[in-house]
Amino acid sequence: MSAVTATVTLPMLDVDAEVTGTYTRGTKDVMYHRNGDPGEPGDPAEVEVESVTLTGAKGERIAVDLDGLTQRDRDACREAIVDAGEGDYDDDGDPDAAYESARDKAQGRW
């Protein structure tokens, strides 16, 4: 899980806002383990918007009521968190290799 802060333009308000939340990358489905055992489904990514803040004309920070945002604005906030959160992961194209190896070792399959 990574805590992220990003800048997003809220589509319905057409203003820039600072959005803070958490992002946990999902895992891929595993069809088969290295030893031939059946695999398991992956886990979906998790995104949570914790706060949205606007900057007023005098530089004051204004908290936005999350329940008052339109679905389109909430989606934009979630996308900004995912984009910022994905940048926290540095991988070589196979993000789950280390996870799968550690899991197989822990389950005595390796």
Exposed (0-12), middle (13-18) or buried (19+): which is 36, by Cβ within 10 Å? exposed
Task: Enumerate the domain spans of the chain.
Answer: 2-106
The model's pLDDT over 89-98, given as tens digits with 9 standing for 90+, comes to 555 445 556 5
Confidence of residue 109 (pLDDT cuts 50, 70, 90): low
Tell me, yes or no, if the pTM score tops 0.75.
Answer: no
C-alpha distance from residue 14 to each of 1, 2, 17, 74 (Å): 30, 27, 10, 13
The 10s digit of each residue's pLDDT in 58-90 is: 889 999 999 999 999 999 999 999 988 887 555
- What pLDDT score was predicted for residue 17? 94
Average pLDDT, the chain: 84
